[in-house]
Structure 1
Amino acid sequence: MEFLENITTSWIIIFILTGFIAGYIDSIAGGGGMIQVPVLLYSGIPPIFVLATNKMASLFGTLMATIKYYLSNKISLKVVSIAIIPCLLASYIGSELVMYVPDNIIQWAILISIPIALIFLLKKSKEFKEEKTELSKKNIVLATAPIGFYDGLLGPGTGTYMTISMKKFLHLDYIISTASTKPLNLATNIGSAIAFMMAGKVLWMIAIPMAISNMLGSYVGSHYAIKGGEAFIKKVLIFVLVFMLGANILKIIFT
């Protein structure tokens, strides 16, 4: 792997800082991959190794966030237990389908999905709490499985969209929605991480320090999400969506 010769100590430090920021953002609103992937690509690492290394680092960050939210009793175990299998199946179907979709269509589909999410996020809704809302199996599956499908089909911003969907369609608090998204996102990511490892595509010299910093960022981010509540999480969600929109527009312009 000749490209590894260009990965200097300075790049490792940049990867560590990037991993922390991505973990922080991802634990609150999702979208950490939109931060890590461009930096890894810019360093000259081939795309397949970038995807594998990013997935491994993000996996550990999501695991940390899941543990932190679980210990704080913020995860809706009912939602997770009902949604996890449908999300896994939907993600698998999406991954199978995406192999037949042209890259330009995928790119535009991602771009269109972002402003739609912004509309849902900014639209005013009544204040509901989880304990005051009846969560039927049908509603839980309908609110989460399509996002699982999106995760397999497209991917970027899955955690963000899942949080918004749970808030808008299951009427959960943003903090409960954010927390419950993490174990679902963790489950849908494990399969691809295993596949990348078995294929030997994970760059461990980069993945390990990024995973550690991602976990630290995730720990700090989930702490502030729990402390800051709905107002804080909503602000970060808006920032992430606007960032994703801008990044995808620039990608289309310059490619």
Structure 2
Amino acid sequence: MTTNALTAVVRSEWTKARTVRSTAWTLLLTFLISVGVGVVNCLSVKKAIAEDSPLVRPDFHPADSGFVGVGMGQLALVVFAVLLVSGEHSGGHSGGTSGMIRTSLVAVPRRGLLYGAKLTVGGGLALAVSLLTVPVAFLASERALGPIGVPLDSPGVPWALVGAVVQLTLVTLFSAGVAVVLRSPAMSLGVLIPFHFVLPTLMLNIPGLRRIAYHLPTQAGAQLMEVTEQGGSTLSAGAGLTVLVAWTGAATVAGYVALRTRDV
């Protein structure tokens, strides 16, 4: 039986997502990593300040420390996005395609509708988890800083909290688009994890590539979480949002084109 009703397809994709164990684990890891890394980082910073360590940055601001864990937590969201949209392609025949995606396309012949439903569910789950994770991670991190920690209503913090939620959601959608293009979960993770978390770090340490590094998705999105300007970035929060939206749009369109044009 086929269906072309948007609500029915979204409901079907939601059912798939919540019945797959990896969905719950990766979303839970997003929360745990964000909070855990944030607290450990701030305890370390608190100790370094107490010892008057030269390792403390001269432009250190306690509010920015509240988002360090969130930056690491998005790793789990990248894994979540990949497993959500490319799991149906894995474990199959010579082309690496299983029968699950074929079954889905029989039920939903309109590939764009199926793809849109997957992105809707993935983006919605990422948004929901981010809305919980970001403020909890920030508050836990600031509490770990002790008396130098700042509250949620400190200048610049509310907008940074919103920016962090937006970044996590858009990075999830970007990763989902790339995963649809690559199809294989292993290949997708092999490309996305270095692209998001290794390549920017390397480029930031090479003066000639630093400006380019700030235009990569995670670095552009990081500008949305900054309460104070750090690291010599050439992007404002608005420019960072524009760059991240452009990357996300390009990746999701590429995923749509790939799904529409190839024989799965």
User: TM tier, shorter chain?
Assistant: 0.3 to 0.5
Q: Give the structure, 1 or 2, with the largest relative contact order (CA under 8 Å, sep 6 or more).
A: 1
TM-score for both structures, normalised by structure 2: 0.32
TM-score for both structures, normalised by structure 1: 0.33
Bigger Rg over Cα: 2
